[in-house]
Structure 1
Amino acid sequence: MGKLYNIAFKGEVAEGFSVGDVRANFSERFSKPDDVIDQLFSGTAITLARNLQWEQANTAASNLQSLGALVYVLDEQGKVVEIPERRTANDSVGTDSGSAENPGTSTPDQNDNTNPYDLTATAKVRHLTRISDKRVIEAAPETDVRKTRLRYRFDTFMAKGGGSIFLAVTAVFVATFILIGVFTGAFMAQDLYSSAAYKVLAVLAGIAGIVMLSALIAFITTALNQRIVGLKRSRSKVIEDGHTLILGWNEQRIIETLRQLVIANEKEKDACVVVLADKDKQDMDDVLSLRLNDTAKSRIVTRSGDVTTLTDLDMVSLGSCGSVIILASCDDTDSAERKAASDAKAIQTVLATMGNENESDDFGVVVEIFNATHREIVRSSFPDHVITVNTSDILANLMVQASRSIGLSVVYNEILSFDGCQMYFCDAEWGDSTFGEIAYRFPDGVPMGIRNADGTIFMNPSSDQAMAPTDEVLILAEHDSTIEFMDEPVAAPAGHSLSGIRQERRVERELMIGWTVKSPAIIRKFADYIIDGSQIQVLLKSPTDQQVAEISAMNEALDSVEVGLIQKDCLSIEDLLSVKPFEYDNIIILAGTDSGETGVDAARVDAENIVALLLLHRIFSQYPTESGNTKLITEILHSQNDALVARAGTHDVIFS
């Protein structure tokens, strides 16, 4: 008996054949179930027949190759034997741990020697080994490819939006309606003569039509609701020119800012203010409608987006706006971490804003930044267009100056707000006039200073300072439309002599109720006005360790002024009486908390300040003589509480 050979198959196909074709040929030729065919094309070596004579092995291999299969004839040592007309072959095929005489691991069928095409033995085969050489990737059947392509096209069509869904539902509804007409004779009426099967089919067709019509109605309703929600969350481009753009959201700041802008735009025909913030548009509109009752002639447009993104800035027409206001994202009472994050966001917004070309030469940006170093960096980087402000420093100066002169807060409110007179820059043909002469040539307006061509501003210059042709006058007027420079004086000055009596400076006692981030600045400003030996007392109910340390540090830093801490409750009349408030020259009530908490509740703070004012007013009424020279200065957060504070008996009010 000669050598015996085995036939192995690894699921590979010959050139010119696809895996799908060979699978179909195997299934048709050998009539095997799909699980057997799948095992043959699993990619691992499987023995199809074993212990064949050379002629049998050669014939069987040739027949299998004619089906498109790439098979291997192995000798008793597991080596590949060349077969005539074979297209390709590997040097060897991995086998399992069996011996060379039995390269396969499957048990051969008894009929293997007589019928090499019998694949019943494949039900018992095991994988010989994992191969690492290049394999032919099985292609999906043509029917699967068509299904995948159709599914992809359908998904793409439906992903286009509501219009595609509407067309799809409408098409199904029309098709169902046609089927109803076909099966029911184009109408549904009483049917006494049709068969039961026909009636059942007609009823099912009618139900299908009702279901599809309901789906169509539901889709239309949902689409309309989504459209309405989309309109409320409008992302359309703002088509405005010369509008005021507010970037960022701080509820307290933005309400007061919008109130002033509404007043400023009262004489404008069609003024617009656009707000862009990283906040839901509907939420912004709800807050504005609740807290901003009357917008007069101003239109307020809100958009939701990222204030540092050029795309969103273009959405609100940054290039055509007249001015930009960048709000801080937190209050000055918040933690240092939140204020640092607010400064970082504000600087990013400035960079994004200045990186966009603006059509106006007078384009200006006002940004609120807490850190002094950050303010200087931004100011020096964009000196011509960006103005940085810190409300804490400004308010500290205003409160101290208001305490030095009763009624000064009214003057500041008139000048700094748009309710009344405002400050404008005016240029005209000055001729040979001096600053003192032009002061009487404005029917409505009071010159306050001069701005040179290089941007330098001189407040209250000398009356004999000559006006240059390029100079602009800083003037206080009711409106810019009422400013008119006359050729001749509209009034003649009258001479008045001063009394020559000057008030002598004396040792003072100041009482500051509450503690905020402005407190150190207020104390330092007071120290500049009062003489040596004066006292500044801070009244707190429950001071924190940090507040105690800050007060102690201020006392050590100011040699000429004594800074002390009084631990009392300003909402208790007994505690207030114990400190004898009528013996102080000035009492400043700050809008802050004793505990140093962040995120101050403005309504609660204003309410507590009003209660403290009422208690102090009651004490002063009991000691009218002693309290005759005591001045009350109050800081409030909501401007609508102005009337309440005035009734409480304060001398000056500062809005924070």
Structure 2
Amino acid sequence: MGRSASLKGRARYWFDTTLARGTSALVGWLALACLALVLPASVVLVWTDPDAPASRSGRLAAVWRLTGETLRLGGATGPLLRVLLSVLLALVALVYVSTLVGLITTGLTERLTALRRGRSTVIEQGHSVVLGWSEQVFTVVGELVAANANQRYGAVAVLADRNKTTMEEALSSKVGATGRTRLICRSGPPTDPALLALTLPGAAGAVLVLPHDDPSEDPEVVKTLLALRSALGEQDGPPVVAAVRDHRYRLAATLAAGTRGIVLESDAITARLIVQSARRPGLSLVYRDLLDFAGDEFYLICDPALAGRSFGDTLLAYATSSVVGLLRDGRPLLNPPPQALIGPGDQLIVITRDDDTERLSDCSALVDESVMAPCRPAGARPERVLVLGWNRRASLIVDQLGRYAVHGSVIAVVADRQEVTADQVRVAGAAFAPRLTVTFRPGDITRPETLRCLEIDSYDSVVVLGPDTAPGQRPDEADNRTLVTLLVLHLLEQETGRELPVVTEMTDDRNRTLAPVSPGADVIISGKLIGLLMAQISQNRHLAAVFEELFSLTGSQVHLRPAASYILPGREASFATVVAAARRRGECAIGYRRHDRATAVPDHGVRINPDKDERRRWTDRDEVVVIARE
């Protein structure tokens, strides 16, 4: 038994060693295996053939011919030299055909691989080019598709260092049907000018450079902008919209983008919207409606008939559009004084359904001054804000809250010591002492006992911040702790009987539906917000300055104010009356938010740009959306 196993092992070792010698050994073994199968089968076929030659030599010749034809070895019979030459010619033909097939197969494979990688040049004109791949890509592409919905044809080209098929499948899954818009994916690093040229950026209508998920990769955005400048050369290229996360790279990105570029700072914009929503609950719903192309959005119009009229007159000059400002010498003026005159070169900034829906129509006859509430300016009061958690945007949030805080305001921070220290929190709010007090309490915000000790119902608003994404961690994993914290807050709401005004920051929009908050609560999806902004600005670069002012703490901003400040509670009035009442206060009314039993998804009671002739009975719980100074 041992000797048998030894012989078997030796034979296997000899066979493995033979195969290791290379291609020649493989060919030899293949030839022997084929002969071992073909030769016996040929002998059986010849010897069982009733028409086979009677002599043994004739039968052997028939076996040879059958074997040669099967293995494509000629099969000629006769003198030995003739047989050898026949085999030689057959082998030459076999090598030639095999080599030709191999070359053709290799060429086709390389071509198909290149096509799968997306290495052919785009031949579109006026298309949108998206460079990079991050959480914003689905929002940006989806909004660009929506923007092209009323166009005859559109195209969006995406260049990223990912597999072409993978990108197409992901976009198809998240964006869905693209309608008249053609979606083109090209594979390769957008920092390479040669590969960037595949998207034909010089003929594009706009180029969008997405921020990376990791703030430490902002230099890649700068490098992409430099590559774009190299690909475009000195020609007047399309407008470029880019975004960075860290403010330290915004200047470099702006210099790399040149005069054609607009660079957004993701973290700063997110922090501003969180602060505005904390002060005015429900504001994120208004911005969501204003920023996506599915509803009403900002447009610029030029109507010579309005030249010489006051800005206040234009507020009631459009039945289905809301006038909010002027564009003068390329600079937007939001909510200018009502007596400001419109110059011949000025453009109106309006909120309307589409770029062709504004129609002049005098709505002054719809105004009923008898139901207008008297103007009573509201005084500022101290604020109490609770911040649960800490991340890289938290110091920006404290700074934004502190700039215009009234004396006696308080910001209480509760976070894990691994995220922030007491000294870091103190430094963040030191510039605003003594009118603002910033406190820090270490603790696990996912534990009920931590939040029960805070007298949480004494705060005007609660801000829940998710942790920064760790290296190698999926972006949506940062939302896990946020969801647990929201569950605890929901428990405290049930115990206290008070609905807390919570502003939640999340990373993944899919987690919004999982959040245990009221349907109309403020949930800020930072990536989606920046994606919406980039898509809007790519369609009209002048909107960059409009949004810059709206998100700033100075100038005119979007506000939600009690409807009782404009219309007497319980009275019925048209929206034109609300617009006229807001005009008296030096404000531009653009919509309202109702608070009644009919309030439900998807609008959560928010109505932007209603028709001027829309009438309703206004309650003291309703709010009016206005653009006004603080």
Shorter chain as normaliser: what TM range? 0.5 to 0.7
CA displacement at 1:621 relative to structure 2: 0.9
| 1:512–1:537 CA contact under 8 A, matched in 2 | yes
Preserved CA contact (<8 Å) 1:322 1:364: yes
Q: Distance in 1 between matches of 2:129 and 2:364?
A: 39
Following superposition, the deviation at residue 250 of structure 1 comes to 3.6
State the SS of the aligned residue for 1:538: strand
Aligned length: 455
Q: Could you tell me which residue of structure 1 aligns to residue 445 of structure 2? A: 570
Superposition map of 1:404-483 within 5 A: 404-429=279-304, 430-452=306-328, 454-483=329-358
Aligned counterpart, 1:553: 427
* Aligned partners of 1:263 and 1:419 also within 8 Å: yes
Match of residue 142, structure 2, among 246, 252, 259: 259
Q: Match of 2:559?
A: none
Task: Return the match for 2:114 from 226, 230, 235.
Answer: 230
Aligned match of 2:524: 654
**Deviations, residues 488-520 of structure 1 (Å, cap 9, x unaligned):** 558633335335556554443211122222111
CA positional deviation for 1:270: 1.5
Q: 1:514 aligns with which of 389, 395, 406?
A: 389
Which residue in 2 is equivalent to 1:623? 496
Q: Tell me the residue number matched to 2:127.
A: 243
Report deviation, 1:320: 1.6
Q: Is contact 1:592–1:600 with CA below 8 Å preserved after alignment? A: no
- What code does the residue aligned with 1:237 have? T
Taking the aligned partners of 1:376 and 1:427, their CA distance within structure 2 comes to 33
| CA RMSD between the two structures | 3.3
Partner of 1:348: 226
Return closer, same or farther for 1:599/1:466 CA change in 2, 3 Å cut-off: farther
Q: How far did 1:303 drift?
A: 2.3
Q: 1:299 aligns with which of 170, 178, 182?
A: 182
- Cα 1:549/1:294, change in 2 over 3 Å: farther
Picking from 269, 275, 278, the partner of 1:400 is 275
Letter in 1 for 2:323: P
Corresponding residue SS for 2:269: helix
User: Contact 2:222 / 2:252 at 8 angstroms: preserved in 1?
Assistant: no
Task: Tell me if structure 2 keeps the 8 A contact 1:318–1:358.
Answer: no
TM-score under structure 1 normalisation? 0.62
Task: Measure, in 2, the Cα distance between the counterparts of 1:384 and 1:455.
Answer: 14
Instruction: Describe the shift of the 1:456–1:646 C-alpha distance in structure 2 as closer, same or farther (beyond 3 A).
Output: farther
Residue identity matched to 1:357: Q
Query: Take 2:89 and 2:513, find their aligned partners in 1: how far apart are those partners?
Result: 73
- What stretches of structure 2 of length at least 5 have no aligned partner? 1-64, 527-630
Q: 2:109 and 2:170 mapped to 1: Cα distance?
A: 23
Q: Conserved in 2, the CA contact under 8 Å of 1:281 and 1:303?
A: yes
Q: Which residue of 1 aligns with 2:536?
A: none
Partner of 2:156: 273
% identical equivalent positions: 25
Structure 1 residue 460: deviation in Å? 0.8
Alpha-carbon distance change, 636 to 373 in structure 1, aligned in 2, over 3 angstroms? closer
Q: Deviations over 1:159-201 (max 9, x none)?
A: xxxxxxxxxxxxxxxxxxxxx9xx99xx98876x612442344
Corresponding residue of 1:322:
205
Deviation at 1:310, TM superposition (A): 4.7
Distance 1:471 1:383 in 2: 26
Structure 1 contact 632–650 (Cα < 8 Å) conserved: no
Structure 1 residue matching 2:130: 3-state secondary structure: strand
**Structure 2 CA distance for aligned equivalents of residues 424 and 306 of structure 1:** 34
Match of 2:514 among 622, 640, 644: 644
Match of 1:493?
367
Question: Cα–Cα, structure 1 residues 220 and 385, in superposed 2: closer, same or farther, change >3 Å?
Answer: closer
Give me the whole-angstrom Cα distance separating, in 1, the residues matched to 2:345 and 2:294: 30
Counterpart of 1:610? 483
Deviation at 1:632, TM superposition (A): 0.6
Aligned counterparts of 2:503 and 2:287: Cα–Cα separation in 1? 14
Note the C-alpha offset of 1:534: 2.5
SS at match of 1:576: helix
Report the residue type matching 1:590 in the other structure. L
1:522-555 alpha-carbon deviations (Å, 9 max, x no partner): 11222234422322122223434x6543212124
Shift of 1:266: 2.0
Measure the CA separation in 1 of the matches of 2:199 and 2:365: 47
Residue matched to 2:43: none
> In 2, are the aligned partners of 1:278 and 1:307 still within 8 Å (CA)?
yes
- Partners of 2:246 and 2:447 in 1: how far apart? 36
Cα deviation for residue 274 of structure 1 reads 1.6
Following superposition, the deviation at residue 603 of structure 1 comes to 1.7
**Shift in CA distance, 536/640, structure 1 to aligned 2, threshold 3 Å:** same
Q: Which has the larger radius of gyration?
A: 1
Q: Which residue of 2 aligns with 1:149?
A: none
Q: Deviations over 1:36-64 (max 9, x none)?
A: xxxxxxxxxxxxxxxxxxxxxxxxxxxxx
Question: d(CA) in 2 for partners of 1:570 and 1:297?
Answer: 48
Q: 1:650 to 1:541 in 2, by over 3 A?
A: farther
Unaligned stretches of 5+ residues in structure 1: 1-179
The answer (yes or no) to whether the contact 2:134–2:211 under 8 Å persists in 1 is no
**Alpha-carbon distance change, 508 to 443 in structure 1, aligned in 2, over 3 angstroms:** closer
Q: Deviations over 1:348-393 (max 9, x none)?
A: 246436644137xxx4222224555754576589885322210111
1:205 to partner: Cα distance: 3.3
Q: In structure 2, give the amino acid aligned to 1:209.
A: A
Q: Distance in 1 between matches of 2:194 and 2:353?
A: 38
- State the shift of 1:437 in Å: 2.1
How far the C-alpha of 1:413 sits from its partner, in A, is: 0.9
CA distance 1:490–1:188, change in 2 (3 Å): farther
Alpha carbons 1:532, 1:561 under 8 Å: kept: yes
Q: Secondary structure at the match of 2:398?
A: helix
Q: Which amino acid aligns with 1:270?
A: Y
User: Which amino acid in structure 2 is aligned with residue 460 of structure 1?
Assistant: N
Is residue 217 of structure 1 aligned with residue 95 of structure 2? no
Q: Distance in 2 between matches of 1:590 and 1:208?
A: 74
Q: Is residue 252 of structure 2 the alignment partner of residue 357 of structure 1?
A: no
Query: TM-score normalized by structure 2?
Result: 0.65
**C-alpha distance in structure 2 between counterparts of 1:461 and 1:383, whole Å:** 30
Q: Distance in 2 between matches of 1:381 and 1:251?
A: 21
**Residue 650 of structure 1: how far off its partner (Å):** 6.5
Equivalents in 2 of 1:368, 1:207: separation in Å? 64
- Residue 158 of structure 2 aligns with an amino acid whose one-letter code is V
Q: Distance in 1 between matches of 2:515 and 2:90?
A: 74
Query: In proportion to residue count, which structure has more helix?
Result: 2
Amino acid at match of 1:513: L
| Alpha-carbon distance between aligned partners in 1 of 2:252 and 2:134, rounded to the nearest angstrom | 27
Q: Which residue of 1 aligns with 2:29?
A: none
